[in-house]
Amino acid sequence: MSLIAVVDYGMGNLRSVSKAIEHVAKNSDRVIVSSNPADINNADHVVFPGQGAARDCMHELQARKLDAVVLKAAAEKPFLGICMGMQILLTHSEENQGVECLDLYPGNVRRFKDNMHDSEDLKLKVPHMGWNRVRWTQEHRLLENIAQDSRFYFVHSYFAEPSDSSLIAARSDYGIDFACALAKDNVMAVQFHPEKSAADGLQLLKNFCHWNGQP
């Protein structure tokens, strides 16, 4: 039996994430949503979701004394970041006039420009919202049974730009080519929402539940 903890710091779509994981987890697995550091420390797998502004997310993490707990989990066990849970793993975000983030990976989070156009010269709206193709740039166990160029659901105005390009596990295009997944060792983090991404999103979550943290 595995204990899968979804980190609750008041800034994520926790019900959708936890229900999706429950749907694909083994019958013997237990899924909890918790802000208790002991629960997260004792979990076998940790999911770190997030929605909202970077400043608010960092404030809530620090106020609940979960910032160090999240970094410890990312160092020790299978760890999945989702949306803002990917962005704030980097050093700094441009959002809210600049926010210092968790600095697990050196890099910055930048805003999409307002004057972007697609390949047919149609103006693109910010936030980037809806389905988009994902191009995998690494082989990874979380991608088993997920085809190249599968479509996932995005909602974001900012994108991750890690200093080390070898961290990038997938890219997508929205006026620019941007990193939409990062992976290193026992950590995978995605900009899109697997819990909202139909069969392929559920497959990624299922792969995570079965993952032992080895690349």
pLDDT at 77: 97
Q: β-strands 90-93, 79-82: how paired?
A: unpaired
47 alpha carbon, distance to own chain's centre: 9
- Residue 57 annotated as catalytic: no
Whether 211 has a pLDDT exceeding 90, the answer reads yes
pLDDT at 12: 78
Whether 18 has a pLDDT exceeding 90, the answer reads yes
Say which residue the tokens 């997508």 belong to. Answer: 172
Q: β-strands 177-184, 45-48: how paired?
A: unpaired
pLDDT at 122: 84
Q: What is the mean pLDDT of the chain?
A: 96
Round to whole Å and give the CA distance between 145 and 99. 37
- Residue 193 annotated as catalytic: yes
Active-site hit among 128, 140, 156, 193: 193
pLDDT at 204: 98
**Cα dihedral sign for 204, 205, 208, 209?**
negative
Percent of the chain at pLDDT > 90 equals: 91
Tell me the average pLDDT across 109-118. 92
pLDDT at 34: 97
Phi (first) and psi of residue 168, to 5 degrees: -75, 120
Whether 11 has a pLDDT exceeding 90, the answer reads no
Whether 59 has a pLDDT exceeding 90, the answer reads yes
CA distances from 80 to 70, 97, 182, 191 (A): 11, 27, 10, 11
Active-site hit among 45, 60, 83, 101: 83
Residues 160, 182 contacting (CB under 8 angstroms): yes
Round to whole Å and give the CA distance between 151 and 99. 30
- Do you find a cis peptide bond into 194, omega within 30 degrees of 0? no
Q: Specify the CATH number of the domain 3-209.
A: 3.40.50.880
Whether 62 has a pLDDT exceeding 90, the answer reads yes
- Residue 195 annotated as catalytic: yes
Whether 115 has a pLDDT exceeding 90, the answer reads no
Tell me the average pLDDT across 25-46. 96
**141: which residues sit within 8 A by CB, 6+ positions away?**
207, 211, 214, 215
pLDDT at 119: 82
Spell out the domain ranges in the chain.
3-209
Residues 160, 191 contacting (CB under 8 angstroms): yes
pLDDT at 113: 93
pLDDT in tens, 133-181: 999 999 999 999 999 999 999 999 999 999 999 999 999 999 999 999 9
pLDDT at 89: 98
Round to whole Å and give the CA distance between 190 and 108. 15
pLDDT at 25: 96
Whether 117 has a pLDDT exceeding 90, the answer reads no
Whether 215 has a pLDDT exceeding 80, the answer reads no
